[in-house]
Amino acid sequence: MSRELFNVDAEHGLLGALFIDPNLLDEISTKVSVSDFHEIENAALFRAILDCHEAGDPVDVVMVAEHHPYLPSGDSMLGYAATIQANAQGTSSWKTYARVIRERAVLRKVVETAYAISESANDDLPVAEIIARGQQAMADLRDLEDGEPDYHKVSDILITVTDTIDAKFNKTASKGLSSGIPDLDKLIRGLRPGNMVVVAGLPASGKTILGVQMAQHVTTQLAGAGLVFSLEMTKEELVTRNIASLGSVDLTRLDEGDTLEDDDWPKITGAVAQLSKARLYVSDQAGMTVARIRSIARQCQRREGLDVIVVDYITLIAGAGGQNRTLEVGKISTALKNLAKELKVPVIVLAQLNRGPTNRPDKRPRPSDIRDSGQIEQDADVVILVHRDMESEEGQNGVTELIVGKCRHGKQGTCLVQQEGKFVRFVPFGGKVPSDEEVEMGRVVRFTGRSKGRPDYE
């Protein structure tokens, strides 16, 4: 016997209960919405009751009809409301009525979703994308059970918070995953679960190097699991870079192959051994959408566990089309932030900067320079700007400034790192760190010489 997709009696029962006890409305409205009613007259009556309540008027048949005199059919709202009230059975079963109404509304949504997926199968879309859209639609359905409320009493949260404070005091609490760059960790206080960390820079500044290096550090040094969505490079290119970085092997020689030297092979073998043990995963599918990213991430977390996600980079994520690209990127950004909260892992999102910094005297970027959408800056918990001034001698020698332009739980500031281009990695800066006064005087302090292959500062 098939289940009906609606229950008119439950709709009438719930509306009748509201006329008997209007004080139930605040709680009922958190469980049932106007769109959950199948019968259009019942939906219109519920809307009229809500409007009446919001206006501060008594919820009775007369005032409801005052707000909405007619039903969508053109019949009298007063007569319909009076009939519902006259047939009301009481208030004891309102929770059951509300649950049934909500369940049937979700079932109708499931049927609609299945139909939409069936229709999309006829479109020129990859099968993986059709599946991802279906998974996204199903995940967006609200929980049917009377689980956790949408609000929490502070006293209920205090136990968790005080336990966390105590653990931090006793140095037993996790401070977030290390980025692998100690000076950066001092500023952002680690990569925290649920945070969206935006790493932005101009082309060739090293943002991809930094983002991927963080995932590499988490998986090879901290025994965590990481997933990299590489929308620009192939998975083979990405792994080759991992070998260069971990093994200190010149990337050019790895690419060429026939120029490799004898002492490169033990380094390659060591890097391969590290990567073989690491729980580092890569997805390089073309035309990736945010729905597909979410689907793959959930699958990876379920099967392998997951501690960090890297998306390289946000502008390459395909949108729904048919709307302003700025709005599309904004929605993608918010979806990635929600993904971080849902999976409870840091999501490192790479982004490009516009050319605004190049027109400034000091060349230094700001979070507002993030390209395509200001929503990215708003959604981010942390914004790290990768600044390498190629017009300066320091920049040409790989000195890079990591500017923390936003951090909800840490502090704004900067740190210097040394980019080792041939090994595709950043290492701690080995020279003298400039003073605040020196930074204020120019975009970077004067470069005077080198020590052990690294720049030195006066």
Mean pLDDT (the chain, rounded) = 81
User: Whose CA is closest to 277, among 233, 249, 308, 246?
Assistant: 246
- Could you count the other beta carbons within 10 Å of the beta carbon of residue 149? 8
**What's the confidence (pLDDT) of residue 214?**
92
Cα separation, 233 vs 402, whole angstroms: 23
Cβ distance 398 to 379 under 8 Å? no
Band of residue 174 on the pLDDT scale cut at 50, 70, 90:
low
Is the predicted pLDDT of residue 448 greater than 60, yes or no?
Answer: no
Is the predicted pLDDT of residue 227 greater than 50, yes or no?
Answer: yes
Cβ distance 365 to 387 under 8 Å? yes
Domain 176-457 has CATH 3.40.50.300: yes
**What's the confidence (pLDDT) of residue 394?**
81
Q: What is the phi-psi region of residue 372: left when phi exceeds 0, alpha when psi lies from -120 to 50, beta otherwise?
A: left
Element (H, E) at 314: none
Q: Which residues of 172-204 are buried (b: 16+ CB within 10 A; e: fewer)?
A: eeeebbbbbbebbbebbebbbbbbbbbbbbbee
Domain residue spans of the chain: 8-138, 176-457
**Reported pTM:** 0.64
Cα separation, 95 vs 113, whole angstroms: 27
Residue with tokens 């990481």: 226
Is the predicted pLDDT of residue 283 greater than 50, yes or no?
Answer: yes
Is the predicted pLDDT of residue 14 greater than 90, yes or no?
Answer: yes
Strand order in the sheet with 196-201: 279-283, 225-230, 308-312, 347-352, 196-201, 382-387, 399-407, 413-420, 425-428
Report, as an integer, the average pLDDT of 380-408.
87
Report, as an integer, the average pLDDT of 423-450.
59
**What's the confidence (pLDDT) of residue 146?**
45
Report, as an integer, the average pLDDT of 301-307.
88
Integer CA distances (angstroms), 381 to 176, 213, 297, 310, 347, in order: 13, 20, 20, 15, 10
**What's the confidence (pLDDT) of residue 89?**
86
Where does 8-138 sit in CATH, by number?
1.10.860.10
